[in-house]
Amino acid sequence: MSTFLIEPGAKLANRYRLDHVVSETGGATRWKATDETLARPVAVWTFAEGFPRTSEVVRAARATSRIPDARVTQVFDADDTGPVPYVVEEWVVGSSLAELLAQGPMAPERAAGLVAEAAEAIAAAHAGGLTHLCLAPDKLMWSSGGAVKVIGIGVDAALMGTGAGNASAIDAQGLGALLYAGLTGHWPGGPQSGLPAAPQGPAGTYPPGQVRPGLPEPLATITTRAALPQLAGQMVPGPPITSPAELCAALAEVPRLIPLPVAPAESAPPPENGTSRRTGEFDAAGSGSRRSMRGSTTAAARSERPEPSRMDRRASRSEASPKRFLIGVLAVVVFVGVVAGAWTIGASLRAQDETPVDPSADSADDAQDSEELVPLEITGSDGFDPMPDGDDSEHGDNAQYAHDGDPSTDWSSEGYKDPLEMQKEGVGLKLDLGGSEEVHAVELTLPEADHGVQVRIGDSDAVTDQTTLDEHLPVAWEGTVNGTQTIPVEGGRSGQYVVIWFTELPEDGGEWRGTIYEVEVLGA
Q: What is the pLDDT of residue 282?
A: 29
Residue 143's closest CA among 102, 100, 87?
100
pLDDT score recorded for residue 294: 30
Contact 240, 228 (CB under 8 A): no
> Average pLDDT of 199-224?
94
Give the model's confidence band at 4: pLDDT under 50 very low, under 70 low, under 90 confident, else very high.
low
Cβ within 8 Å of residue 23, ≥6 positions away? 29, 30
Other beta carbons within 10 angstroms of residue 92's beta carbon come to 20
CA atoms within 13 A on the CB side of 350: 10
Which of helix, strand or coil describes residue 406?
coil
How confident is the model at residue 254, as a pLDDT?
A: 95
* Domains annotated on the chain, with CATH: 11-90 (3.30.200.20), 95-251 (1.10.510.10), 374-523 (2.60.120.260)
DSSP per-residue codes, 351-398? HTSSS---HHHHHHHHHHHTPPPEEPP--EEEEE--TTTS-S-SSGGG
Using the predicted structure, report yes or no on whether residue 66 has a pLDDT greater than 90: yes
**Residue 286 DSSP code:** I
Percent pLDDT > 70 in the chain is: 74
Secondary structure class of 269 (helix, strand, coil):
coil
pLDDT band of residue 324 (cuts 50, 70, 90) is: very low
What is the residue type of 212?
Answer: R
The Cβ of residue 214 has, within 10 Å, a number of other Cβ atoms equal to 8
**Identity (one letter) of the amino acid at 362?**
D
Query: What is the reported pLDDT for 143?
Result: 85
Range 313-346 burial, b when 16+ CB lie within 10 A, else e:
bbeebeeeeeeeeeeeeeeeeeeeeeeeeeeeee
- Kindly tell me if the per-residue pLDDT of 396 is higher than 90: no
* Non-local CB neighbours of 221 within 8 Å, separated by 6+ positions: 236, 237, 238
Number of other CB atoms surrounding residue 230 within 10 Å:
12
Q: Would you mind telling me the total number of residues written for the chain in this entry?
A: 524
pLDDT digits (tens, 9 = 90+) for 266-280: 333 333 333 333 333
Q: Would you say residue 292 has pLDDT above 60?
A: no
Answer whether residue 34 shows pLDDT above 50: yes
Residue 340 CB partners (closer than 8 Å, separation 6+): none
Could you give the 3-state DSSP secondary structure of residue 188?
Answer: coil
pLDDT higher than 80, residue 420: no
Residues near 105 by Cβ (< 8 Å), separated by ≥ 6?
111, 182, 183, 184, 185, 212
User: What average pLDDT score do residues 315-338 get?
Assistant: 47
229-253 mean pLDDT: 95
d(CA 429, CA 502): 9
How wide is the angle at C-alpha 192 spanned by C-alphas 105 and 127, nearest 5°? 90
Closest CA to 271 of 519, 504, 523: 504
pLDDT of residue 395: 86
Q: What is the pTM of this model?
A: 0.53
Give me the half-sphere count of Cα atoms (radius 13 Å) on the Cβ side of residue 182.
34
Which residues are registered as beta bridge partners of 477? 455
Instruction: Name the band, by pLDDT with cuts 50, 70 and 90, for residue 328.
Output: low
**Across the chain, what does the average pLDDT equal?**
80
- Mention every residue, 6+ apart, whose C-beta is less than 8 A from residue 222: 179, 241, 247, 250, 251, 254
Highest mean pLDDT: which of 239-248, 387-396, 480-489?
Answer: 239-248
Q: Which of 198, 174, 193, 171 is nearest to 101 (CA)?
A: 193
What is the pLDDT confidence band of residue 330, given thresholds at 50, 70 and 90?
low
Contact between 313 and 447 under an 8 Å Cβ cutoff? The reply is yes
Name the β-bridge partners of 200: 205
Q: What amino acid is encoded at 281 in this protein?
A: E
Question: Among the residues of 451-517, which ranges form H helices?
Answer: 466-472
- Residue 193 one-letter amino acid: S
Q: How confident is the model at residue 388, as a pLDDT?
A: 59
CA distances from 305 to 150, 277, 292, 298, 299 (A): 39, 24, 20, 10, 10
| Confidence (pLDDT) at 443 | 94
Residue 339 has pLDDT above 50, yes or no: no
β-partners of residue 383 are: 429
Over 80: is that where the pLDDT of 9 sits? yes
Give the per-residue pLDDT at 448: 87
pLDDT, position 209: 95
Residues contacting residue 77 through CB under 8 Å, at least 6 positions apart: 13, 16, 86, 87, 88
SS3 assignment, position 477:
strand
With a cut of 90, say whether residue 67 has pLDDT above it: yes
Q: What pLDDT sits at residue 333?
A: 52
Q: Are the CB atoms for 445 and 486 separated by under 8 Å?
A: no
How far is 75 from 138, CA to CA, in rounded Å?
A: 18
Cβ–Cβ under 8 Å, residues 488 and 450: no
In this prediction, residue 406 carries a pLDDT of 86
Per-residue pLDDT averaged across 172-198, rounded? 96
Q: What is the DSSP-derived secondary structure letter of residue 461?
A: -
Segment among 84-93, 437-446, 492-501, 510-519 with least mean pLDDT: 510-519
Region 188-201 average pLDDT: 93
